Each structure stands twice: as C-alpha cells, then as structure tokens.
Amino acid sequence: MSELDCRMLYRQAFCDPDTEFEDKLFKNCFSYCKTHEENGHTVSMLFALPCEICGENGKKSAVYIYAAATHSDYRGKGIMTGLIESVKSSADTVFLVPEKAELILFYKKLGFCEFDIAGYRKNDKYVNLTGGFIPLSRGEREDGGYERRAMYYSRVKQNLDGMYFPYSMLV
C-alpha cells in the first residue's frame, strides 16, 4: 500500500483543497487505512478509525469509516463492498457519513441504517474518536444543500437517534 497512491485517490475522490488537513489525516491515521490494489496501485481505500459509543450503558468500541473512495475506473466492481464488509466483520458497530446523498442507498444495501444526529451535545449519548484524533478537527463546511446523514451498521439492534456526532469529528 502506497501512501502516495492513497493521497492521489483521496484528492480525486474528494477534491479537498485543505492540504493542511490532508497532511494531518495521512500523518495521524494512515495506519488505519485499508486498501485494495490492482496491478500494484491502490484503487480503493477507506480509513477505519477506532471510536466508541458513549451512553447510559457505558462505552462500547466501534469503527468510524472515513474517506471511502474507489478510483473511477474501478467503480461498480464490488471492491468497496469488500473493504466495508471486512470492516463490518471486525467490529460490532460501524459508523459512516456518506459524502453525497446518492450514496445512502448503496450503504443501505450493505446493511447500514440512517439515524438522526444531534446538532449539539444535549445528552450523554455520543460518539467519540479514540486514539488522539483531536488534531484532525475542523469546522463546518458548506455542502451545497445536502444535509449530511450519519449511518451505522450494528450486529446488535440499537436506537442511535439523537446521538451527538459532532461535525468537527467528521473530519
């Protein structure tokens, strides 16, 4: 797995002009990057960041999928599905926030459910990244009218509506 390949794929998929953030992401989180390679190059990737669900029953570990991307030439071949299934098999609960509304149906087909996230921490039910990811926080950005929806997959049925899922954590 080449960090350079992953950075190029990240830039192609997200067109993010914030190179300072990109540098921090790859410096602090590259060890959590899962990839699929074809002909010696990374063609699909995602970050599987450790996090925890904090609530009335204590804390439970989970995984937050961030920056899931597949090179445009390799889409529709089940590669990302394989990466996500790998993450799901290693965690009881997995979170993600689709980059585009069009991706919600794709994630639902993989067993993910939507939940309403709280805009501020109004209770003791929240998701927290673990492992020192605070330097990755950044403020809100405009999304052209798409109201971001958090989604989760869980082996155990749970109601996560109203959970505080801070946008600054959604790096």
Please say whether the beta carbons of 95 and 152 come within 8 A: yes
pLDDT at 99: 83
Sort residue 132 into left (φ over 0), alpha (ψ -120 to 50) or beta: left
Instruction: Specify the pLDDT at position 36.
Output: 98
Can you give the pLDDT at residue 148?
Answer: 60
pLDDT at 150: 74
Q: What angle, rounded to 10 degrees, do the helices at 3-14 and 19-29 form? A: 140
**pTM across the whole model:** 0.83
Domains of the chain: 3-169 (3.40.630.30)
- Cβ contact 52:60 at 8 Å: yes
Tell me the average confidence (pLDDT) per consecutive run of 10 residues in the chain, 171 residues long. 92 85 88 96 95 80 92 96 97 88 93 75 65 52 53 77 57 39
Q: pLDDT value at position 167?
A: 46
What single DSSP character describes residue 124?
Answer: S
Radius of gyration of the chain from its Cα atoms, rounded to whole angstroms: 16
Short-list 129, 128, 131, 127, CA closest to 158? 127
Q: What is the pLDDT of residue 144?
A: 45
